[in-house]
A and B are shown apart, each in its own frame.
Chain A
Amino acid sequence: MTLLHATAISKRYGGLMALSEVDFRVAPGEFVAVIGPNGAGKSTFLNVLTGLTPPSAGRVLFDGRDVTRAPTHRRIRAGLGRTFQHGRLFARLSVLENVMTGAAIRTDRTESQLRALSLGMLDRMGLVGEAHRAVGSLSYGQRRMVELCRALACGPKLLLLDEPAAGLNLGEVEQLMARLTALRAEQELAVVLIEHNMGMVMRLAQRILVLNFGCRIAEGSPAEVQSDPAVLSAYLGEGYGNAQH
């Protein structure tokens, strides 16, 4: 069964092919990582999947429906969730209100249900003490966790995370990994993780897609991708490949 099925996605920016004919599938509950050097097209790929950027060619099926032309909010209501590479919180809302905005995706929830659900989510992520603070007063790592809470409060079936560990310290990265793992143990949640932190990718991902210059250059289990010569030279660099031998 396939939850997300993207076929032959291309995206052209002027003369630049940010994505060329990328095929990608995610099964329900699966954890897939997308890696690749800076500028490889990873964020662009998420933009296409979430409807922020229309693809130049290709199709996106989500949960059995063709959403290629669906506006973003419809895709989110259908069960897609996302966080951003450069953190995007609602600056004038408190931490709790940010998460409540996500929880409000279900219109049948009362105000007190929204509040309880969001506080529960913050509690899970170790942020309940910050619930009434302004988001501007949080640390960088806390902000990223609040954004994650907000996305989770929408109740996604598939969560797209764009470099969630960038700018986090080692302890925060450990926490993030532990919480993602705990969450997935409780509910069926598929994750697509874009990440440069290879330790995190290798520990969490069941499958890895490697992009370079907008093209899929490899896909497979962490072990397969790790020893793929194309990946070693393109992404990890020749130096890394040599050091392995």
Chain B
Amino acid sequence: MRRYHSLLAAVAILALGGLLSLVLADYRLRLLNVSVISAIAVIGFNFAFGLAGLISLGHAAFVGLGAYTLAILSTAFGWSPWLAIPVAILVTTLFAGLIGYPLLRLRGHYLALATLGLNVSFTIVVTNWISLTGGTNGISGIPELRLGAFAFNDERRFLWLGLVLLALCAAFAVTLQRSRYGRAMMAVRDDETAARMTGIDVTRVKITALCLSAAFAALSGTLFATHVRFVAPEDFNYAHSIIYLAMLIVGGEGAVAGAVIGAALLTFLPEWLRFLGDAYLAFFGLMLLAILIFLPTGLVGLAAQLRRLGGHREAETTS
């Protein structure tokens, strides 16, 4: 039964995404790619924020570190991007582990502020370390991903690759969430003292959650870099961290499905609401406010509530 859930998540992503990849036009496919890449980052963010309760506002820095590592290795050093991907993930995860020790002594608002600072610092460093990062000009000429003669160089092909990776990430995340590790993270978020009292090493669980979130962020960053084939500092500034947070909250924190739905919705919404013009930001703010107040468990929570409501109706009519 429990093994089903991860399989179900993967199949749903592949089926729905695969179908859309065949019917949508190129511009929509580009947005779908952006959704898939964001969804991987938000699934990662869910480990830190949704499960372990770490209020981080620096997730985009990890995405950026992954993207820049790949960009530098594949251009300046001529590495194959396939080789640069695992190295970028490793570098970012190690960085998260190192920075986690001092950072995770902080809690709540202080942690939020410190991670925001981390993100701002990241932007400053990549903007000013011109010899390595190209400064505000960014890094262009990132090679495409290819398997033999098959290059993932158009939107449809890249989407297939992205969907496979997203499906794997979702399946892994669902499995982990329903394991002792996921429960330990949620226990730490709910009550650190009680978690200690069940033998949980709270510091280790928090660091693990941060490293996992950074690893997913780095994968997302490497996909971003090989999709756009260009990286620049503003792609990873703190505003993106806030968007990841918004995606998770709108979709439903603590749920892998919520991360995916939130990422897709907040990528497409600006396009659907293009007619609002500048009023879009006001609409976006109000929508976020409404969700925080009326739907604290996000769209996934709403779906669960509706299902329960439907269940009650059925019970009433049959009795």
Name the distance in Å between A138's Cβ and chain B's nearest Cβ.
15
Is the CB of B201 closer than 8 A to any CB of chain A?
yes
Chain B positions near chain A (C-beta within 8 angstroms): 2, 179-180, 183-184, 186-187, 189-191, 193-202, 254
Number of A residues near B (Cβ < 8 Å) is 27
Chain A residues positioned under 8 Å from B200 (CB to CB) = 73, 101
Residue pairs across A and B with CB atoms within 8 Å: the count is 72
Closest CB pairs A-B (n = 4)? A88-B194, A72-B196, A105-B199, A76-B199
| Chain A, 83-128, CB within 8 A of any chain B CB | 84, 88-93, 97, 100-102, 104-105, 111, 114
Residue pairs across A and B with Cβ atoms less than 8 A apart, 24 shown, are A52-B193, A52-B196, A71-B196, A73-B201, A76-B196, A76-B197, A76-B198, A88-B191, A89-B191, A90-B190, A90-B191, A90-B194, A91-B191, A92-B186, A92-B254, A93-B186, A100-B180, A101-B184, A101-B195, A101-B200, A104-B180, A105-B199, A111-B179, A150-B198
Name the distance in Å between B184's Cβ and chain A's nearest Cβ.
7
- Chain A positions 47 through 83: 1 when the CB is less than 8 Å from some CB of chain B, otherwise 0: 0001010000000000000000001110011000110
Inter-subunit contact A84/B190 (CB<8 Å): no
Is the CB of A6 closer than 8 A to any CB of chain B?
no
Is the CB of A151 closer than 8 A to any CB of chain B?
yes
Chain A residues positioned under 8 Å from B195 (CB to CB) = 90, 101
Inter-subunit contact A104/B183 (CB<8 Å): yes
Q: A81-B197, A101-B184 are in contact. List 17 more A-B contacts (CB 8 A).
A: A52-B193, A71-B201, A72-B197, A76-B196, A84-B197, A88-B193, A89-B194, A90-B186, A90-B194, A100-B183, A101-B183, A101-B198, A104-B183, A104-B184, A104-B198, A114-B180, A154-B199
Name the distance in Å between A223's Cβ and chain B's nearest Cβ.
34
Of all chain B residues, the one with the shortest Cβ separation from A98 is B187
Chain A residues positioned under 8 Å from B2 (CB to CB) = 111
A237 to B180, CA, bound (A): 49
A236 to B180, CA, bound (A): 46
With A76-B197, A92-B254 in contact, do A111 and B186 touch (Cβ < 8 Å)? no
Chain B residues positioned under 8 Å from A89 (CB to CB) = 190-191, 194
A93 to B198, CA, bound (A): 14
Chain A positions near chain B (C-beta within 8 angstroms): 50, 52, 71-73, 76-77, 81-82, 84, 88-93, 97, 100-102, 104-105, 111, 114, 150-151, 154
A50 to B194, CA, bound (A): 11
Inter-subunit contact B202/A73 (CB<8 Å): yes
Chain A residues positioned under 8 Å from B184 (CB to CB) = 101, 104
Q: Please tell me which one of the listed residues B180, B189, B194 contacts residue A84 in the complex, with CB atoms under 8 A apart.
A: B194
Chain A residues positioned under 8 Å from B180 (CB to CB) = 100-101, 104, 111, 114
A104 to B200, CA, bound (A): 9
Chain B residues positioned under 8 Å from A101 (CB to CB) = 180, 183-184, 187, 195, 198, 200
A104 to B189, CA, bound (A): 17
Inter-subunit contact A93/B187 (CB<8 Å): yes
A77 to B197, CA, bound (A): 9
A93 to B184, CA, bound (A): 10
A97 to B187, CA, bound (A): 10
Residue among A71, A81, A82, A101 with the highest chain B CB neighbour number at 10 A: A101
Residue among B179, B190, B193, B199 with the highest chain A CB neighbour number at 10 A: B199
Inter-subunit contact B199/A97 (CB<8 Å): no
Of all chain A residues, the one with the shortest Cβ separation from B200 is A73
With A100-B180, A111-B2 in contact, do A90 and B187 touch (Cβ < 8 Å)? yes
Of all chain A residues, the one with the shortest Cβ separation from B196 is A72
A77 to B201, CA, bound (A): 10
A89 to B195, CA, bound (A): 9
Chain B residues positioned under 8 Å from A73 (CB to CB) = 196, 199-202
Inter-subunit contact A50/B197 (CB<8 Å): yes
Chain A residues positioned under 8 Å from B199 (CB to CB) = 73, 76-77, 102, 105, 154
A100 to B2, CA, bound (A): 15
Name the distance in Å between B180's Cβ and chain A's nearest Cβ.
4
Chain B residues positioned under 8 Å from A71 (CB to CB) = 196, 201
Of all chain B residues, the one with the shortest Cβ separation from A160 is B197
A136 to B179, CA, bound (A): 22
Chain B residues positioned under 8 Å from A82 (CB to CB) = 197
A82 to B199, CA, bound (A): 11
Chain A residues positioned under 8 Å from B197 (CB to CB) = 50, 72, 76, 81-82, 84, 88, 151
